Chain A
Amino acid sequence: MKVVKLDLVAARKKAPRTRINKDLKDTTYETAPQLIKDKIDKGRKMIAIAGLPK
């Protein structure tokens, strides 16, 4: 019988990961570029019309 040995360290190194970068800053509605404001405005209208799903 062939024994397959898992190399967990190598597997972990290869797995895509999310790394925190302190230089990346969050965006608010006020600081968002116009194209995002436009989308949020459209989404706000949809929520005003239909509410949020229950």
Chain B
Amino acid sequence: MRHDRYSVEASASLLELEFYSEGPKGRVKKRVKIVPFGNGSGAYNLAFGNVAANGEIDDLRVTNNNDSQKVLATVAHTAYDFFEKHPDCFIYAAGSTKARTRLYRMGITNNLAEITIDFVVYGFYDDVWEVFERGKDYEAFLIKKSGIFGA
């Protein structure tokens, strides 16, 4: 993506990733966890948030480090890394709140032209997965690499 992003540390399979947000609130540790659904569907849940005191992801905390674009670009880039290793899989993403899901939708909308060069994005709406359209209030998103399964 064209936005600045942070350097990332990752597990060998690129399913567990960490980086630091830097800004007026200091250096804040962020984590991306990509977890297989475990039902043979080839779908993986992408969870993302601050690393809380107990070492787990807190995806409700708002950091206000004035770097949301850079953080979002970093998370988005983890998807590029993921699909290098898992080209025929889906990434599933849903916000922990409606507001967070809306934030994801805005991030996708703002970068749709660039994302769709390499990926197909679907939104879940009225019990159906449909190709992502701007302005629709989706419950969740699925992303796959273009050219897989005939797309």
Q: Decide if B96 is an interface residue (CB 8 Å cutoff).
A: yes
Interface-forming stretch among B21-29, B39-47, B105-113? Answer: B39-47
Of residues 1 through 54 on chain A, the ones whose CB sits less than 8 Å from some CB of chain B are: 16-22, 24-30, 32-33, 35-36, 39-40, 42-44, 46-47, 49-54
Please, how many angstroms separate the alpha-carbon atoms of A40 and B139 in the complex? 13
Q: Is B135 in the interface zone, CB < 8 Å from A? A: no
> How far does the alpha carbon of A49 sit from the alpha carbon of B139 in the complex, in Å?
14
Using a Cβ cutoff of 8 Å, how many contacts connect chains A and B?
A: 117
- Flag if A16 contacts B38 (CB, 8 Å): no
Beta-carbon contact of A39 and B47 below 8 Å: yes
Nearest B residue to A31 via CB reads: B35
Q: Is the CB of A27 within 8 A of B129?
A: no
Closest B residue by C-beta to A18: B8
A20 to B35, CA, bound (A): 18
Is A42 in contact with B140, judged by CB distance below 8 angstroms?
A: yes
Q: Which of B5, B129, B131 contacts A50 (CB 8 A)?
A: B129
Q: Are A40 and B74 in contact (CB under 8 A)?
A: no
Contact: A44 with B94, CB < 8 Å?
no
Within the assembled complex, what's the spacing in Å between the Cα atoms of A52 and B129?
7
Bound together, the chains give a CA A43 to CA B59 distance in angstroms of 17
Q: Measured between C-beta atoms, what is the minimum distance from A30 to chain B in Å?
A: 8
CA distance A26 to B14 in the complex (A): 8
B129 A43 Cβ-Cβ under 8 A: no
Contact A36 B35 (CB under 8 A): yes
A24 and B18 form a contact (CB under 8 A): yes
B118 to chain A, nearest CB (A): 16
Q: A26-B16, A39-B94, A43-B43 are in contact. Are A33 and B57 (CB under 8 A)?
A: yes
A-B contact pairs, 10 of them (CB 8 A): A16-B6, A16-B7, A18-B8, A24-B16, A29-B37, A35-B96, A36-B33, A43-B92, A47-B43, A51-B129
Using a CB–CB distance below 8 Å, which chain A residues touch chain B?
16-22, 24-30, 32-33, 35-36, 39-40, 42-44, 46-47, 49-54
